[in-house]
Amino acid sequence: MIKIHDLNAYYDDFHVLKNVSLEVGKGEVAVMLGPNGHGKSTVLKSICGLVEKVTGNITWSGEEIIGLGAEKLVNKGITYIAENRELFPEMTVMENLKLGAYSQSARPHEKENLEKVFSLFPRLADRRKQLASTMSGGEARMLAIARGLMSNADFLAIDEPSLGLQPNLRDEVARIIKEINTQGMTVLVVEQNIPQITELADKLYVLEEGKISFEGSREEALGDDHLKEIFLGM
Amino acid sequence: MFIEIIDVIISGLINGSVYALMAVGLTLIYGVSKAFNFAYGSFYSMGGYIAFLLFGISFFNNYLIVFCLAAPVLLIFGFFIEKLLVAPLRKRDDWEVKVMMITLGLALFLDNSYQVVFGARMKSLPSILEGSFEMGEFILSYQDVVIFIFSLGGILIFRWFLNNTRTGMSVRAVAQNPAGAQIVGIPKEFVFAATFAISTVMVGMGGILLAQKYFITPAGGWDILVKAWVITAFGGMGSIKGGLYAAFIVGMLEAFVGWYFGMTWTLIALFAVLLTTLAVRPQGLMGKWG
Amino acid sequence: MEHKRITVFLAIIWGVVAILPLFFGSTNFIMHILIMCLIWSVVASCWDLIMGFAGIFSFGQVAFFVIGSYSSAIISARLGVPPVFSVFIAGIFTAGLGVLVGLPCLKLKGAYIALVTFAVHMILEPVLKGDIGRALGTGGARGILTIAPMNIFGYTFTSSDPIPYFYLLFLVAVVCSVIILMVIKSHWGTAFLALKDAEEFASCLGVSAFKYKLMVFALTSFLTGMIGGFYAHYVGMLSTRMLGIDLFVTLMIILVIGGVGKFPGAVIGAFITIAVNEMLSPLGSYRPIILGGLVVVLVLALPDGITGLFEKMFSEKKQGLSH
């Protein structure tokens, strides 16, 4: 499980996260909500070693991991799936997936993970020779998630998977997150446009102005009129 | 006349193949790390001098052994130059200028060190293969054939490396999307250094290949740097395919201009073509913006 | 650095330089070095303006200098124009070429600009040595061996009595640095900073990259060409050896020592570099090795040059006081 205590993050001199503490238990799904530009992505990136200036504690199964770079963290099973996908445009689907399994710990499992990914996303299997740059927004999103799964991760930080997706594909994303979660994956996802994902959540966090302003279950959140109105759209 | 034109085409092809090998190395560094290496020409001369030293020892007096020994030396040298000189600058906002400056300083240092150590006089290497193929007036030396085959072979090996090995794929990944590469856990710094090292090997090998034909001189690399630079800009900096096409176009252009107008015009013609191309397509033949 | 501090800094530098002949005036050899320092301080300051402030990777600075020196020498010899006017004509001619080179560069980026401008440098040698150059009067590979000395109102400046020429060039260098200072202070300077930081954003605000970049090409090549002319009429002979890589790197060392984009660092850099370079000359062929090594070490150890070091000391001192 992942445990964050008093996390502070900075971009140059700009103080983005202020004493953020949160916890995602093993095999749980936690969802983070909050207005845009208040630092949700930064929380995910800080966990995954993609923010340079961070202070505080982040422990992963009891081990302190703050300040480790992305290379080491991916190797430990912590993977980030970017909101803007960050695929390799001039490479095929297959090559993108292979690079998803770049880390030492993922290499021995490349074959089985590939099978798993293709059964989750049958459409990618059909298009394995296609260049990533020629894919539609929905397909590219699936590829980004699939590439993340190739890293043999135990913890996925998924950033706004609904971004640029048609509404009918949102159900698909929720289905996939549910499925990988039932297979034992711990997930922290930033998403507020897919109600089904909020339903999956074991725990909800709300981040406002770089601080956690709410922490609790979905039921508790529904009891809070402010939250209900703004973030859950109910 | 007819035979002459055939000769010109063949010399264009042979030069084009060597240029391709060297331009690909330069474009690779730029494509992956956006760094421009002014000492690239000095690495070319280094290849020649390493071979010259090895040939001086009778035990290593064989091209195969020379290649096998020079490659790792150049690889390690390139790797450490990147780690020690280029990598520390990357954190700065103005690192691009600083990298140009430091590599230019390195070039001056290396070129003059060659002059002190080996003297200003030209050095030559034995021909890799004596003899020639003759058919009437038409003569094709085996040496040229070997140069052509080795250069193309080098490019093909490099292509295979980029497409089929994990390190090669990570090099392409960093070139295409550095942020994405970081996310999947590719060690960017290592890839930068590895790319630099590989390009050093490519240009150094080119130096050994061409030394048997054009001699080794302390400042001989400048010509190569300028040509490789023109070719990469012409083909689109960072585009390997563009660099390959451009290399052969430049090889041909040079051969024809040199034959028809005289050698002094080749450089001027080269820049004229480059400027016209850039005026129409500022990103080069196959380059992309950004 | 704030503008006020630059002005004070510049005034101090020139004040010190102005009294140097009091100590060294009797030694022609040292005066000669000081004159070279003045000349290179202008060339380096112009390079700093275009590269450090405007953010254009122009590598044609030495080429423009050589073009200016050759054209002033040729204009004065062939057309009988007195040197005092020919240096300005040479400056205007160089500025025209500068604009011509600048035009294709406007559409290009970073390393491409470096290539196009360096191309001018590379082509210049075959052109000056070749048929075209000989027809113009460059003297081919031999170079130009006799150039009329500078002459103003009947007074002839000779290299055997360098103090008057020192003060003439001192005046020119001061004027050039004041022009550069004014450019940095004016809205040009602000526009450059905006363009360097975020070209797209700046052009949204209506800052025309086109206009400013072309103007900086014109101005820097004018000043560089003109000082090239002063150089030609001082040394009295020219050859394409100036286009060798040594001089190019020496000029770069000036910027490295002075700090890129740290005007008037380039002026200090010029005095230090040229003096050190002269002191190293007994080392013969080891000198360029040392120079090259020096660039490598300095770029790593002193990334903002001496001026950066001063700034750091100054701000630390200020912080220390406020505690």
Q: What is the CATH number of the domain that holds A192?
A: 3.40.50.300
Most confident segment among A98-102, A160-164, B213-217: A98-102
Residue A14 resides in a domain: no
Q: CA C82, C87, C88 angle in degrees (round to 5)? A: 105
**pTM of the model as a whole:** 0.88
The predicted-structure confidence for C48-73, as pLDDT tens digits, reads as follows: 999 888 888 899 999 999 999 999 99
Does residue B227 fall inside a structural domain? no
Residue B93 resides in a domain: yes
Question: What was the ipTM of the complex prediction?
Answer: 0.92
- Domain contains A160: yes
Confirm if A79 and A48 have CB atoms less than 8 A apart.
Answer: yes
For residue A179, is it within any domain?
yes
DSSP A36: T
At residue A233, the pLDDT reads 53
| Angstrom distance (rounded) from CA B192 to CA B32 | 7
pLDDT for position C205: 59
Q: How far is B82 from chain A (nearest CA, A)?
A: 20
Q: Does the pLDDT value for residue A156 go beyond 70?
A: yes
Highest mean pLDDT among A58-67, A159-168, B132-141, C134-143: A58-67
Chains in touch with B (3+ beta-carbon pairs under 8 Å) read A, C
- Residue range A175-198, pLDDT digits in tens: 999 999 999 999 999 988 888 888
**Above 90 in pLDDT, residue C141?**
no
Interface C:B, ≥3 CB–CB pairs < 8 Å: yes
Residue A97 structural domain: 25-49+67-232
User: Is 70 exceeded by the pLDDT of residue A73?
Assistant: yes
CA distance B161 to chain A (A): 14
Which among B89, B107, B115 is the nearest to C285, CB-wise? B115
Is residue B50 one of the residues assigned to a domain?
yes
Q: B267 and C112: CB-CB below 8 Å?
A: no
Residue A57 in domain: no
CA–CA separation, A216 vs B2, rounded Å? 86
The verdict on residue B180 lying in a domain is: yes
Q: Tokens representing B2?
A: 């007819």
Residue C1 has pLDDT above 60, yes or no: no
> How many domains is chain B built from?
1
pLDDT digits (tens, 9 = 90+) for B128-166: 888 888 887 788 889 889 999 999 999 999 989 999 999
State percent of chain C over pLDDT 90.
Answer: 35
Please give the residue that has the higher pLDDT: either A94 or C53.
Answer: A94
DSSP state of B85: I
Cβ of B176 within 8 Å of Cβ of A91? The answer is yes
Q: Give the model's confidence band at C317: pLDDT under 50 very low, under 70 low, under 90 confident, else very high.
A: low
What burial class does residue B230 get, using C-beta atoms within 10 Å of its C-beta: 0-12 exposed, 13-18 middle, 19+ buried?
buried
Which pLDDT belongs to residue A157?
Answer: 96
Give the count of Cβ contacts less than 8 A between chain A and B: 61
> Closest Cα of chain C to B65: distance in Å?
31
**Tokens matching residue C143:** 């170079």
Host domain of residue B170:
22-219
The amino acid sitting at B145 is: V
Residue A154 lies in a domain: yes
pLDDT: which is higher, B134 or B207: B207
In a domain, B78, yes or no: yes
pLDDT value for B95: 87
- CA-only gyration radius of chain A, Å: 17
Q: Give a yes or no: residue A208 inside a domain.
A: yes
Residue B126 domain-assigned? yes
Q: What is the pLDDT of residue C323?
A: 45
Kindly tell me if the per-residue pLDDT of C196 is higher than 70: no
Phi then psi dihedrals of residue C174, to 5 deg: -65, -45
Per the structure, the count of domains in chain A is 1
pLDDT tens digits for range C146-195: 888 888 877 888 777 888 999 999 999 999 999 999 888 887 777 777 76
Instruction: Tell which residue, A145, A188, A185, has the closest CA to residue A163.
Output: A145
Residue C95 CA neighbour count, 13 Å, CB half: 17
Per-residue confidence at B289, pLDDT binned at 50, 70, 90?
very low
B276: in domain: no
pLDDT reported for residue C198 = 64
Contact B104 C300 (CB under 8 A): no
pLDDT over 90 (residue A143):
yes
Q: What tokens appear for C36 in the block?
A: 């070279």
Instruction: Tell if the CB–CB gap between C292 and B96 is shorter than 8 Å.
Output: no
Any domain includes A89? yes
Q: Is residue A215 part of a domain?
A: yes
